[in-house]
Each structure stands twice: as C-alpha cells, then as structure tokens.
Chain A
Amino acid sequence: MLLAFMFTSSIHANTIDITVVTAAAEDRKSAGKSFAGITVIPDRPVQRAVELALYESAILFETLEVEAKLHQLQLSGDSNLESQLSNTPTGGMLILDLPAAQMKTVARQANAMQRVAINVRHSDSNLRESLCLPYIFHTIPSDRMYFDALGQFLIYRGWRKVLLVQGPTTEDTVRAESMVKSLKKFGVTIVDQRTFTLSHHPDDRDENKPEFLTGGVSYDVVAVIDTQKDYGRYLQYSTRSARPVVGDVGLTPASWHFALERYGAPQLNERYRRFKSDITPGPQVAMTDAEFAAWSAVKLVTNSLNTRPPGTELDVMSLLHDPASQVDLYKGTRGSMRHWNHQLRQPILLTTPDTVVAVAPMPKFLHPKHYVDTLGIDEPESGCQLPPNAQQ
C-alpha cells in the first residue's frame, strides 16, 4: 500500500520523492528483547527521522522552489514485489526500513527497476560487496567502519593485546571476522578468540562463566561480539583480569549519540526530541544509528541542493553521484558517498552509555586522499568497484 504525504500538485518539475519502505507487520521481528524481556536495543522505525530531515530542509525547499514528497510503502507479502515497487516515483529515493533478508530482495528488485534505494539499517560489511549495484547506497556505517574506529582507538591508547569473545550465531561469526580484519589492520594482536554460550550448565562453565571465559591468558582489553546484546553485558566488571571491555558492550563504536556535545550536535538532538512528540522525551533519547542513517540519506540529498547549480534537474541518482554532494552530519567532518561501494563516509563515535569518549579517525591515522577514509573498506581493497559515474 503506497501512501503519500505533503504533496500539493501531482506533477512538478522540481520534485524530490522519498519513499520509506517498511515490512508487513508479520515480517517485523521482535528484535531488541533479551531473554528476560529487558529491551536492550532500541528499535524504532526510521520514519520520524526522515520527517525531521525534511522538516529541517523546508525553508531550503521553499527558497529553491523544490517540492519534497514523502511516501510510505508498506510491503505486502500477498502481491508481487515488482508491481508494488512500480508504484513508487521514478527519479526518487527509497529508504529501506526492512529486516536484512527482505532488504536484500527489495534492493535487487529496486536496482533492476532503476530506483535508488538506501540501506539504513544493516552494517554487515559483506552487503557492501554482495549488493554492489549502481542504484543501491548505504548510509549506515559498515561493520568495518565501526571496528576500524575501535582498532584505531585501541592502538591510540596502546592497548594492543585483545581477547576476542564472541556469540554463537552466524551473525556473530560474520561480525567477528570483520572485527578481526579491522583490529589486525591497525596492528592489534588477537591473543585468543573464544565463543560464549547462553547455557548455564556447569559442564559449559568455560564458555558461560565470565571469569573462566576470560581467564588463562594475558590481554589489554576484552573485545565482545554479541549481536543480540544478551550475554556481553554481563562481562564488564566480571573479567578474570581487570581490563576494559569494548565492542558490543563497554566502549562501543556508533554513528550517533545523545551526549555528543560539539559540532552543533546538541541542537540536532534537541530538535529530534521535540519533533512530532507528544511528550518531549528525556535528554538521553537520541536517534538510533538506523534513524541517523535515514536522516543522513535525506540530508545528503537536501544539502547537495546548496551546491547544485540552479535550474539543474533534481534526479536523486545524479545528486548522489555528484562528487560535490556533501552532507553536514553534525560530527565535525562532512560526509559524502564513496563512489566505489556507495558507502557514506563519516566519522565514527566511540561511546559508552553516558558519553562520547572519542571521535574517529583518531589523531595520526592519515589517509592519502580523504580524512575519514581510514575507516572502512578503502578503494584498493574493495571487492565492489562501481565507477565514479555509474549512471547509465
């Protein structure tokens, strides 16, 4: 079902169409709940962040006589995907607020139909290679960007010996591979790699008791991969040696945070809290990384209007491919698209639940071309090599 908001005329020469694509209710997994029912991962639809980005840009649209239309497409499993997507406007942008498997399917179909589609939710580095398609873009950082930031931080602090503890799921294994690549890239030594279990059985104590799981080896930090955030949170203050915990708990890389106090971030956080909210949420509420990625995608398009020669056609594909297109991410360094794998480059925050400890790239990690390209898969090593101008 395709719903449209905020439109006044049906055909307009300077129109930007944005469609938020969501899953059918039955396909939305109940993520973010631990065994005990405690919500550990905030999981909100990205719609509000998209609306916020459009709200911020309203005065720019008015000045440039651009009309922005926001649509919503809730996919239905009953009808054909192609026919559902064919209702979305050409030349616009689809924001895919979908579970991983469905996102991949929809992305491929959108690409075949020449619809620009943005992955705002999935950081799996492999998607940057398997979805190496001209019409697909990623504004959520890849796991390699997150873990490169962490690797730089560890080297910067001189914490070179890491005990890696990971969960048992396939996703944990994939993400652990990304982490190992990132940490080794900057010279961190993985002293051992161990897998925890959720079992409480005494026979499994080497894998379920933090003191045993982290014993018998010398390390500077414990790095945790625990995608479900179900076990890792019990590791802090329970490791065999008194060492910091980083990764999915403790010091965590993130793209956005409520406590970022520079670069204008407090203004954005304040605006988000007040925007379309019956009750202003508490000061610790901020955009999730998925919401921030959706906000970034819209802002990349609207910010690029600032540097676009007046009168040029507002086709999202050409805006995203224009090397002059930049986005003010409120993180001190502007963001832009990496043309080779369509990943939004951006600084990464190293955070704890109550503060931002550092903003990567860390000092002295230099890149020959772009300040933030020490984070993530760089052009020479990327398996995805889209041309600078992938327009057909």
Chain B
Amino acid sequence: MNIDTVMQKVHTLAAPVFAIGAMFLLSLFSLATTPAAAATAVITNERSGDLILMNESGDTIDVIPLCSRPRGMARNSTDNTLYIACSDDGEVLEFNFNTKEVDRVFSKLSGAMSLALHHPSNRLLVSNEGAARATVINLLNAEVLATLETGHEPDGVVFSKEGDLIFVASENAGMVHVYDGNTYQPIKRLITNLRPRRLAVRENELWVSSEMGSRVEIFDTASLIKKDEIIFAPRGFRSEQLTPVDILFDQTGSTAFIALGSANHVVIVDAANRKILKYILVGRRPWGLGLTEDGKRLFVLNGLSDDVTIINTDNRRPVRTSRAGLVPHSVEIIE
C-alpha cells in the first residue's frame, strides 16, 4: 500500500464532501441537541477499508480511505496517535489524528489483527492471525523486539499495567499465552474455555472473553490461576447464542462493558462483584467497544448491521444508532 496515494485520495475525494456535509449537519442538529461534543470516535471498517470519524452525537464527520481490512487499533492518549492494523496488507499504520496523516508504516506483520500499546515503554504488541505468533515492536526505532510463538489464530493481546507481562489469546488452541514482558520468555499457557477472543486487565485480574464458551473467565495476574467466571443469560437466548468478544473497563476499572456478539446485546457488569447490571439491545453482532473519557457514552460497533449504537451510560439506554462503514471492527475515542 502506497501511503502517498492513500493520503491523496483522502484530500481530493473524501475530505471536501464530508467536511461540507459535516458542517451542515453540525449547524443543524448537533449543536442544538447536545452539549459541546468534544470527543471523536474513530472507527475501522474491515470491508470498506476506511476510517469513519464520528462525533458523540453519532454524526459522521469524515471518512478516510485507508488500507485493506483495517481491524484492531491502539491509541496513544498523550499525542492522539493511533496505531491501526491493516490485516490484508500485513501492516500497522501510525496515524496522526491531529493531521489525519499516516506518519509511519510498520510492514511485514502478516495478518496483523489486534493491537496493544504500552506507553511507558513505547512498545506495541501485534497479534499475527494467520501466522500463529505475536510481534513486539519498539516504537522509538520501529525495531522488532520479539516474536512470540502462539497457538493458531491469535487474537486478543494485552500488556500488564507495568508492562512486565504480555498476554496473547489463541482462539484455536483455547489458551492465553503468558510471556515475560522484559525477557520475552514464555511463562505459562492459561487453558481457557472455547475460542478465547479478547483480553482486558484491571487491578490484578486478566479478563478473557470465551466466544464459544459463552463466558468471561477471570485469571489472577499474580498467581496466573483462574479465579472466577461470568456467565451471561439475557432473556430469550440460549447459552450457545451468547458469543462475547470485546471487554472494556471504565477509567476506574469498576465497571465492565462486554459485547455479546450473536446475542445482539451489550452487558454492563459490576467488575468487582461480577454482578450483571444491565443487558442492552444493540445492532447485529456487536464486537468492538469504545468509551468516552468521561465514561458517559459507550460506542458499540455492530459488525453485521454496519452500524454503531451509542449508549448513554447514566440511564443505560441507547441514544442513537448511526450508519458505519462496511463491517465496523474497532473504535477508539479521541477527546
């Protein structure tokens, strides 16, 4: 993928049309219906190969053609840099949100799927879906620090808060690989229920969504032993229809949001006592989740209905469902 060409397309085609549209929409609706909407949701769309920028009210403000099959993202909150996995190109793009330019391209990352950033150590973790491995990159000099062997179909990746542990989920093997974050030596393989997809860390806990096991499993990050699990049961669904994928914690780590895939619901969970607070009906096959910094708006990406449901987390109700690109995958919120 030639970045110059891509950026040219953005400026000549997408920008004027959508800028005018966005200004029109903003003046008509947004300012009148919501308080100053500062946050922008950036959404990758797998099949249309683009990014959509959306304001908190759900209005599309820009569409940026990007690459082949953009999927996972990671955000550096200090400088509004986004890292975007372009799976079919085998590349990760460093996208500067302020300038809307691609500043760097990390290539030779076959099947790049999910990303995690450890900001203090400037490291990016990439799962390589087709290649049964994960790659750790030093963002300062773009060097590959380590290649970590995994089971087939690695997906979710996460660093521990201190960066001393690396976790990679292998969907096919049904396990989470634990690597030392400094030496990159394997520490343990955590056996999970079927098809572990996404990982999230809070306090001393690793949360793992088991898509085909219809549950979230919780491991202690110190002992690396499973300590708990959460089983879901929204009304009118059989257990096997519940296919959890994305897990997202709020700023304090006290509330968890989990997208339930085929069950077309998002669930809000009290993270400390595992109590289910609310099931919220969204679009078809929700996977990707994003939360505004104030925690008031949850963006839910519905992969099979090509839309985004925005949820008011105060009253736990959907506010609006807006059109996304084709097969929206991941969302990051820039304030």
Contacts and interface: CB of A to CB of B under 8 A. Distances in A.
B172 A306 contact: no
Given A306-B193, A326-B194, A371-B238, A332 B153 contact: no
A306 B130 CA distance: 22
Given A57-B173, A271-B152, A328 B240 contact: no
B212 to A, nearest CB: 4
Q: Mostly helix, strand, loop or mixed at chain B's interface?
A: loop
B302 interface: no
A130 interface: no
B171 interface: yes
A334 B240 contact: yes
A48 B238 CA distance: 34
Nearest to B304: A262
Given A59-B175, A60-B174, A306 B194 contact: yes
A267 B240 contact: no
Contact of A306 (B152, B191, B238): B191
B262 interface: yes
B153 A63 contact: no
7 contacts: A60-B151, A267-B172, A307-B193, A334-B213, A370-B240, A371-B240, A371-B241
B192 interface: yes
B195 interface: yes
A322 interface: no
Closest 9 CB pairs of A and B: A371-B238, A306-B174, A328-B212, A59-B151, A63-B189, A334-B212, A328-B194, A59-B173, A371-B240
Contacts of A334: 194, 212-213, 240
A372 B241 CA distance: 10
B175 A267 contact: no
B134 to A, nearest CB: 14
Interface of A: 56-57, 59-60, 63-64, 264, 267, 270-271, 303, 305-307, 326-328, 332-334, 367, 370-372
Given A306-B191, A371-B240, A326 B212 contact: yes
Interface in B161-179: 170-175
A56 B175 CA distance: 12
Contact of B195 (A59, A64, A307, A328): A328
Contacts of A264: 153, 171, 195
B246 interface: no
B128 interface: no
Nearest to A57: B173
A326 to B, nearest CB: 6
Interface string B289-308: 00000000000000000000
Contacts of A56: 152, 172-173
A367 B238 CA distance: 9
A303 B153 CA distance: 15
Contacts of B240: 333-334, 370-372
A222 B189 CA distance: 53
A237 to B, nearest CB: 32
Contacts of B262: 332-333
A69 B77 CA distance: 51
B238 A267 contact: no
A333 B242 CA distance: 9
A56 B153 CA distance: 10
A226 to B, nearest CB: 34
A267 B153 contact: yes
A307 B238 CA distance: 19
B151 A303 contact: no
A376 B238 CA distance: 18
Nearest to A271: B152
B243 interface: yes
Given A333-B241, A367-B238, A371-B238, 7 more contacts: A60-B173, A60-B175, A306-B174, A306-B194, A326-B213, A370-B240, A372-B240
B175 A63 contact: yes
Contacts of B212: 326, 328, 334
Contacts of A270: 130
A305 B173 CA distance: 11
Contact of A303 (B129, B194, B241): B194
Interface string B211-251: 01100000000000000000000000010110100000000
A10 to B, nearest CB: 27
A64 B191 contact: yes
Interface in B270-323: none
